[in-house]
Structures are given as structure tokens and as C-alpha cells.
Amino acid sequence: MRSASQEFDRPENPKKGAGIISTLTFWYALKTFLLGRKRDLDEDDLTKPLEEHKSSLLGDKLARNWSYELRRAAKHRQIPSLHRVIVKTFRFDIIFYGVVLFIMEIFVRMSQPIFIGLFIRFFNTKNKLSKEA
């Protein structure tokens, strides 16, 4: 395993230049999936992390929020809350993925009974339309 101080070249992350359709369908990762199917992936197959996934960026943000939480807790004579810090650090990601998941669940849950009803109606022997098709 390489130490953090060693410099080495890694290929760019395929998600960096991926479009919205490619991102939604994970098409950008197809090359990695195919390589993993042929052989086991190793450290040399890793790509550079995205800028928003770098530990220095996330660590600095978490440390800044923790310092703020320590000051806030001391001011109000409370115990500092790591939960509050994590939620504050990642709140926009949590909200974004929560809204996306909510919308997807609503459409999938509401459309499932409709499509199952149409499927049953198609194969119903008393239905005249199913015999014509």
C-alpha cells in the first residue's frame, strides 16, 4: 500500500466529465465494471477522487463545524453533539437525496398498482381486447 506522501498518476475520475444521463444510469462506470468482471480490481485501477470527495475538503468542513459546535455548546452550557455537526456538514446532500428518493418512491409506488391492473386486465379471459392482440 502506498503512503499518502507518495506522488503517483491516476486516471481522471470518469464521473468528472459525465453528462446527466450518464450519471443517472452509471454509464460512466461501465469500463470499471467490465474490467472487474474480467479480473479482480486492485489499487492501480483506482481513479482520482472527485473534488467534493477529497478528505481534506470534507475534513476541513467537519473540523470547522465541530469548532463552531464546541463554541455553541460552551455558550449554552451543553454537551457538544457530533450528530448535529454531521447533519450540519452534510445537510444539503441529505436534503437533495431525500427529495430525489421521495419523488422516486411516490412515482414507483403509485404507478405499480396501475400497471399491475393493466397487466391483469390484458390477460383476463373475459376481456375482449386481450383476444384481439
Whether residue 42 is found in the same domain as residue 104: no
Whether residue 58 is found in the same domain as residue 23: no
Query: Residue 133: pLDDT above 70?
Result: no
Whether residue 59 is found in the same domain as residue 120: yes
The whole-model pTM stands at: 0.56
Query: Residue 127: pLDDT above 60?
Result: yes
Domain total in the chain = 2
CB 60 within 8 A of CB 51: no
Q: How far apart are CA 44 and CA 11, in angstroms?
A: 9
Whether residue 31 is found in the same domain as residue 96: no
DSSP 133: -
Query: Residue 121: pLDDT above 60?
Result: yes
pLDDT in the model for residue 53: 81
pLDDT in the model for residue 24: 85
Whether residue 59 is found in the same domain as residue 86: yes
Q: How far apart are CA 133 and CA 122, in angstroms?
A: 9
pLDDT in the model for residue 30: 93
Whether residue 102 is found in the same domain as residue 127: yes
pLDDT in tens, 25-63: 899 999 999 999 999 999 888 898 888 888 888 899 999
* Rounded percentage of the chain residues whose pLDDT exceeds 70: 89
CA 51 to centroid of chain Cα atoms: 15
Whether residue 61 is found in the same domain as residue 38: no
Query: Any idea what the Cα angle at residue 106 is, between residues 105 and 111, rounded to 5°?
Result: 100
pLDDT in tens, 4-17: 545 568 889 999 98
- Domain of 33 in residue numbering reads as 1-49
Query: Residue 22: pLDDT above 60?
Result: yes
Which residue did the predictor score with more confidence, 69 or 58?
69
